[in-house]
Amino acid sequence: MRSIPRTRFSTRLSGSERETAERIRSLFQNGQKRPPAALLIPLALLIALCGSLVGCQTASLPQDGSLREPVSLSTVSPEPDLPSPDLNRNGIPEEVRLVGAYGSQELQFWEDGQLIDREVPGVCLYSMDRQDYILRASLEEYQGSFFYHYELADLSGEFEETARWDRVTFDLNFHAPFHQGFDPEAIAAFVEELDGLLAHSVRLSEADGRLVTEAAPAVALDWLDSFPDIFVRDPEASLAEDLSAFQDAMSRAVGVPVPLGETETLPLEESLQMTFSSGAGAWSSDLELRPDGTFAGDYHDADGATLYVCRFHGSFRDFVQLTDSSWLLTLDELVLDTGRPLGEEWDEEGFHYISSGPHGFTDREGTALRPGAQFILYTPQAQGHAPGTELYGAYDFWTWWPEHGQFLDAGDTLGCYGLYNLTADVGFFS
């Protein structure tokens, strides 16, 4: 069970649980910062966060924890009385308020003039054993990549505690080198578990500047119906069986890509200047990639008068053309040219220097890559609007994309060269 201090600063860093983890990690891994997903994909804010409030009128679980009949829409009037939960369980119901300007409201829970909690509209109130909990669910989709998470928050103590939580991630580009997996049993278990909680919850939302309640809807899996020429759900099948059939049908329809063959050089007319950076702040790795696969790089970060630096060079081998717009590359050599051991510190001309790793050419722990690590080089024509296209489901790569664009149809392309480090899920862009 996790304890989190409940203060006015206790809100999450973004709507994405996955993104929050990346942001926190970036504080401790110098140079490994990621642009916020909320800025990258504004529409994602419309997808996430299922939430609501369950007060005296909500369904509850019996003392043994077994499920009773779910709340149905017919039990919730069009304009029901606002719930009065007892989140801190002191026997005094809290008042729920919608506070803020239109478009930027928040829910506040007050008791005797004291602010108890604050949440985003759309959060759910869930009742278990006649005790109230906050249910936060985040169901995010980024063009073929899915990040599902929920947590049941207990606010009865001095600190917020997570009474129950779960998560599942997957993508729909089943044969891509960056495929993160698709486990029908795990996805079905998550959805059924969350649906069980939602069936006993009420969602508190904003509509036309008013606070409204409604029965919390079940998890929508609209993406299962997005390819009717390939897959149609079986009304007699379980969710796990439907998901497994979907995986099989999509895998067959897209097919295992057949490489177009090896090439002697990269698809470059001249040396290419590329950058790996967050798009904000003082750090970046600048890379010169040459048509023969050799490269040279320079990483630098500034924290006041402290400078983190690394110079490096190396080469790729085995240029395998995967599609018209992508090449699989294998790292052949990586040499650090800083002239100082990693971690060594020294002062020079009024600055404090720290010898660092070759960011962009490291693994997730910040260790320099060894020969054999794989990259993908994308040309500006790379697409990502549908399964089987080069960048569909490649969330970890294109969140680093400076353009922060979307692939909606065949006319949307990357528009620049990209180099995807498959080990660390980061990318350089021209």
SS3 44: helix
When pLDDT is cut at 50, 70 and 90, the band that residue 419 belongs to is very high
**Segment 287-313 mean pLDDT:** 93
Per-residue confidence (pLDDT) for residue 63, from 0 to 100: 33
Q: Which of 52, 45, 1 is nearest to 19 (CA)?
A: 45
Longest CA span, the chain: 75
When pLDDT is cut at 50, 70 and 90, the band that residue 330 belongs to is very high
Q: Distance between CA 311 and CA 356 in Å, rounded?
A: 9
SS3 374: strand
**Residue the block writes with tokens 């929920």:** 150
**Segment 250-263 mean pLDDT:** 82
- Report the percentage of the chain scoring pLDDT > 70: 80
When pLDDT is cut at 50, 70 and 90, the band that residue 32 belongs to is very low
Q: Distance between CA 422 and CA 177 in Å, rounded?
A: 8
Per-residue confidence (pLDDT) for residue 349, from 0 to 100: 85
Q: What is the mean pLDDT of the chain?
A: 80
Contact 119, 252 (CB under 8 A): no
Cα–Cα distances (Å) from 319 to 124, 367, 400, in that order, read 51, 24, 23
Per-residue confidence (pLDDT) for residue 266, from 0 to 100: 93
- Report the percentage of the chain scoring pLDDT > 90: 54
38-92 pLDDT, tens digit each: 333 333 333 333 333 333 333 333 333 333 333 332 223 334 467 889 999 999 9
Per-residue confidence (pLDDT) for residue 229, from 0 to 100: 93
339-375 pLDDT, tens digit each: 998 889 899 888 999 999 999 999 999 899 999 999 9
When pLDDT is cut at 50, 70 and 90, the band that residue 102 belongs to is low
Q: What is the pTM of this model?
A: 0.72
Per-residue confidence (pLDDT) for residue 74, from 0 to 100: 26
| Per-residue tokens: 121 | 């509209």
SS3 416: coil
Q: Distance between CA 129 and CA 113 in Å, rounded?
A: 27
Q: Which of 336, 290, 293, 296 is nearest to 317 (CA)?
A: 293
Higher pLDDT, residue 103 or 94: 94
374-388 pLDDT, tens digit each: 999 999 999 988 888
Per-residue confidence (pLDDT) for residue 405, from 0 to 100: 73
For residue 254, give the amino acid letter. Answer: V
136-183 pLDDT, tens digit each: 999 998 888 899 999 999 999 999 999 999 999 999 888 888 888 899
**Segment 108-114 mean pLDDT:** 93
